[in-house]
Structure formats: C-alpha cells, structure tokens
Amino acid sequence: MTSLYRPRDERMIAGVCAGLGRRFGLSAGVVRLLFVLSCLLPGPQFVVYLVLWAMLPNEDRSMAGHR
C-alpha cells in the first residue's frame, strides 16, 4: 500500500477520494460513489471530508512521475 496523500491527477474537488482510493487499492470513482451513498446516512461525512482535505498533504511534484 502507498502512503496517504492527495494526488495532483484524478482530482474532482480536492483529491481526497482519489487519495483514499490509491491508498486502499480502489478506483477514485468507487470511493466517490461510496462517499455519496454514505451522505444518505446520518453522520459527519462532510466534516470528515473537510478535515481530510486540510490534513492530507499534496502529492510532491517529484512523486507524480514515480508511481
């Protein structure tokens, strides 16, 4: 598994779902779908997304070409 970061490619909004997908071996689309479906349930999904957006580092430019 790779480390958790927000990749520069595959971003839609902030890259949180793309980063989680890479970390856990899922496509970014699957993680986005799971996030949208989770929003149908009560809970702090948006708050968690915003916290991850603020906490996860951006992908280094040197890492971008070495996946």
Per residue in 2-27, pLDDT (tens digit) is 688 888 888 888 999 999 999 999 99
Q: Given this model, what pLDDT does residue 48 score?
A: 93
Query: Whole-prediction pTM value?
Result: 0.79
Q: Where are the beta strands (DSSP E) in 1-67?
A: none
Q: 26 is written with which tokens? A: 């899922």
How far is residue 27's CA from residue 29's CA, in Å, rounded to a whole number?
5
Dihedral over Cα of 36, 52, 54, 8: its sign: negative
How far is residue 66's CA from residue 56's CA, in Å, rounded to a whole number?
19
